[in-house]
Amino acid sequence: MTLPDSDGCLFTGLLSARTHAWLADHEVLGAVMLPGTAFVELALHAGDRVGCARLEELTLEAPLVLPEHGGVQVRVTVLGRR
């Protein structure tokens, strides 16, 4: 979705081990975590959709732990340069 009063876009989705079975392979101390490469893929895909094919930097401040049941809603925002 295009952001109002901006040249940015918002992408949303749902991640769960039930709908994305490969995530279950990324278990650490009994918890399923989204691997860092998945964050990169999310950012690159969102950027590609708005014509930006390069990711300069990605800083992860905390791991994304997926719940045993249900999923996690994710949001990726891409803001253009003015």
Span 35-61, mean pLDDT? 89
3-state SS, residue 21: helix
pLDDT at 77: 86
Would 30 be classed as within a structural domain? yes
Domain CATH for 66: 3.10.129.10
What domain count does the chain have?
Answer: 1
Please provide the average confidence, as pLDDT, over all residues in the chain: 86
Domain containing residue 22: 9-78
Is the pTM above the cut of 0.85?
A: no
User: What HEC string does 35-78 produce?
Assistant: CHHHHHHHHHHHHHHCCCCCCCCCCCCCCCEECCCCCEEEEEEE
Per-residue model confidence (pLDDT) at position 82:
46
Q: Is residue 80 very low, low, confident or very high in pLDDT (cuts 50, 70, 90)? A: low
More confident residue, 80 or 8: 8
